[in-house]
Amino acid sequence: MAYPPAPPPTGPEYGASAPPPNYLVWTILATIFCCIPFGIVSIVFSTQVNSKWAAGDQAGAYKASKNAKTWLTVTVVVGLVVGVLSLIYNLSIASS
Protein backbone atom coordinates (compact mmCIF):
# COMPACT_ATOMS: atom_id res chain seq x y z
CA MET A 1 0.00 0.00 0.00
CA ALA A 2 1.49 3.32 -1.09
CA TYR A 3 1.05 6.45 0.93
CA PRO A 4 0.83 9.88 -0.69
CA PRO A 5 3.97 11.98 -0.37
CA ALA A 6 4.10 14.42 2.51
CA PRO A 7 3.50 18.06 1.58
CA PRO A 8 6.55 20.34 1.64
CA PRO A 9 7.04 22.15 4.94
CA THR A 10 5.74 25.67 5.18
CA GLY A 11 5.88 28.27 7.89
CA PRO A 12 8.65 29.19 10.28
CA GLU A 13 10.14 25.69 10.53
CA TYR A 14 11.19 25.89 6.86
CA GLY A 15 13.95 28.25 5.83
CA ALA A 16 15.48 30.64 8.33
CA SER A 17 15.84 29.37 11.86
CA ALA A 18 14.92 32.46 13.87
CA PRO A 19 12.60 35.39 13.22
CA PRO A 20 14.09 38.81 12.54
CA PRO A 21 14.37 41.20 15.49
CA ASN A 22 11.13 42.97 16.35
CA TYR A 23 12.63 45.91 18.33
CA LEU A 24 9.51 45.98 20.50
CA VAL A 25 11.22 46.98 23.76
CA TRP A 26 13.15 49.75 22.03
CA THR A 27 10.08 51.08 20.22
CA ILE A 28 8.10 51.21 23.46
CA LEU A 29 10.91 53.07 25.25
CA ALA A 30 11.36 55.47 22.34
CA THR A 31 7.61 56.11 22.27
CA ILE A 32 7.56 56.93 25.98
CA PHE A 33 10.67 59.08 26.06
CA CYS A 34 10.98 60.59 22.58
CA CYS A 35 8.01 61.04 20.28
CA ILE A 36 4.61 59.43 20.72
CA PRO A 37 3.13 59.74 17.18
CA PHE A 38 6.07 58.19 15.34
CA GLY A 39 6.60 55.71 18.16
CA ILE A 40 3.11 54.32 17.72
CA VAL A 41 3.86 53.60 14.06
CA SER A 42 7.05 51.85 15.14
CA ILE A 43 5.17 49.75 17.70
CA VAL A 44 2.64 48.67 15.06
CA PHE A 45 5.40 47.37 12.78
CA SER A 46 7.20 45.74 15.72
CA THR A 47 4.13 43.76 16.70
CA GLN A 48 3.66 42.53 13.13
CA VAL A 49 7.05 40.78 12.98
CA ASN A 50 6.30 37.73 15.12
CA SER A 51 2.75 37.26 13.87
CA LYS A 52 3.88 37.33 10.23
CA TRP A 53 6.71 34.94 11.03
CA ALA A 54 4.32 32.53 12.75
CA ALA A 55 2.00 32.67 9.74
CA GLY A 56 4.88 31.66 7.46
CA ASP A 57 5.25 35.07 5.83
CA GLN A 58 9.02 35.37 6.19
CA ALA A 59 9.36 38.17 3.65
CA GLY A 60 6.62 40.13 5.40
CA ALA A 61 8.30 39.58 8.77
CA TYR A 62 11.62 40.90 7.47
CA LYS A 63 9.89 43.89 5.89
CA ALA A 64 8.01 44.65 9.12
CA SER A 65 11.29 44.38 11.05
CA LYS A 66 12.97 46.80 8.66
CA ASN A 67 10.04 49.22 8.91
CA ALA A 68 10.07 48.98 12.71
CA LYS A 69 13.78 49.83 12.78
CA THR A 70 13.28 52.73 10.37
CA TRP A 71 10.43 54.21 12.41
CA LEU A 72 12.38 53.62 15.62
CA THR A 73 15.21 55.69 14.18
CA VAL A 74 12.78 58.42 13.10
CA THR A 75 11.22 58.44 16.57
CA VAL A 76 14.55 58.84 18.34
CA VAL A 77 15.87 61.50 15.94
CA VAL A 78 12.70 63.58 16.12
CA GLY A 79 12.64 63.25 19.90
CA LEU A 80 16.25 64.39 20.19
CA VAL A 81 15.79 67.31 17.80
CA VAL A 82 12.68 68.51 19.64
CA GLY A 83 14.47 68.09 22.97
CA VAL A 84 17.49 70.11 21.86
CA LEU A 85 15.31 72.85 20.34
CA SER A 86 13.26 72.98 23.53
CA LEU A 87 16.43 73.29 25.63
CA ILE A 88 17.76 76.10 23.43
CA TYR A 89 14.43 77.90 23.60
CA ASN A 90 14.20 77.58 27.39
CA LEU A 91 17.80 78.76 27.85
CA SER A 92 17.18 81.78 25.65
CA ILE A 93 14.05 82.67 27.62
CA ALA A 94 15.85 82.27 30.93
CA SER A 95 18.79 84.46 29.87
CA SER A 96 16.63 87.37 28.71
Q: What sections of the chain are H helices per DSSP?
A: 24-33, 36-54, 58-95
Q: What is the mean pLDDT of residues 10-23?
A: 73
pLDDT tens per residue, range 30-68? 999 998 999 999 999 999 999 999 999 999 999 999 999
Cα–Cα distance between 41 and 30 in angstroms, integer? 11
What does the DSSP 8-state code read for residue 3? P
